[in-house]
Structure 1
Amino acid sequence: MNQELDWNKEIVLEDERVLLRPLQESDVEYLEVFSEQEPDTWKYSLIRANGRGNLVNYIRIALQAKANKTEFPFIVLDKKTGSYAGSTRFYDINLVYKTLQLGYTWYGKAFQGTGLNRHCKYLLLEFAFETLGMERVEFRADASNARSIAAMKSIGCQVEGIFRSHMPTVEGGRRDSIVLSILRQEWFESVKENLKNKL
Structure 2
Amino acid sequence: MNLDFTEKYTLENDLVLLRPLELSDFDHLLEYAENEPEIWAFNAGGPGGKENLVKYLDNAIKQRDLKSEYPFIVFDKVSQKYVGSTRFYAIFLNNKTLEIGYTWYGKQYQGTGINKNCKYLLLEFAFEQLGMERVGFRANSLNNRSIAAMKSIGCIEEGILRNFSTDAQGNRMDAIVLSIIRNEWFDSVKQNLKNKIRK
Same structural fold, with TM-score higher than 0.5 when normalized by the shorter chain: yes
Q: Is the 8 A contact 1:91 1:101 kept in 2?
A: yes
Alignment match, 2:183: 185
Superposed displacement of residue 168, structure 1: 2.9
Match runs of 1:148-159 below 5 Å: 148-159=146-157
Paired residue secondary structure (1:133):
coil
Alignment match, 1:79: 77
The letter for the 2-side match of 1:79 is K
Q: Is the 8 A contact 1:39 1:49 kept in 2?
A: no
Alignment match, 1:171: 169
Match runs of 1:85-96 below 5 Å: 85-96=83-94
- The number of residues matched between the two structures is 197
Which whole-Å CA distance do the structure 2 matches of 1:172 and 1:120 have between them?
29
Q: Is the 8 A contact 1:168 1:174 kept in 2?
A: yes
Which whole-Å CA distance do the structure 2 matches of 1:190 and 1:46 have between them?
34
Q: Deviations over 1:135-190 (max 9, x none)?
A: 00000000000000000000000000111111233423210000000000000000
Which whole-Å CA distance do the structure 1 matches of 2:165 and 2:98 have between them?
19
> Which of 7, 26, 38 does residue 24 from structure 2 map onto?
26
TM-score between both structures, scaled by the size of structure 1 = 0.97
Q: Deviations over 1:14-42 (max 9, x none)?
A: 00000000000010100000011111111
Q: 5+ residue gaps in structure 1?
A: none
Which whole-Å CA distance do the structure 2 matches of 1:87 and 1:61 have between them?
14
Which whole-Å CA distance do the structure 1 matches of 2:93 and 2:44 have between them?
25
Superposed displacement of residue 110, structure 1: 1.1
The range that moved more, 114-123 or 35-44, is 35-44
Q: Deviations over 1:49-96 (max 9, x none)?
A: 111110010111111110110100000000011000100000010000
The range that moved more, 19-28 or 39-48, is 39-48
Superposed displacement of residue 48, structure 1: 2.2
The range that moved more, 164-173 or 62-71, is 164-173
Which whole-Å CA distance do the structure 2 matches of 1:156 and 1:168 have between them?
27
Q: Is the 8 A contact 2:23 2:58 kept in 1?
A: yes
Alignment match, 2:45: 47
The letter for the 2-side match of 1:67 is D
Alignment match, 1:133: 131
Paired residue secondary structure (2:150):
helix
Paired residue secondary structure (1:48):
coil
What is the RMSD computed on CA atoms of the aligned residues?
0.8
* 1:119 paired to 2:117: yes
Q: 5+ residue gaps in structure 2?
A: none
TM-score between both structures, scaled by the size of structure 2 = 0.97
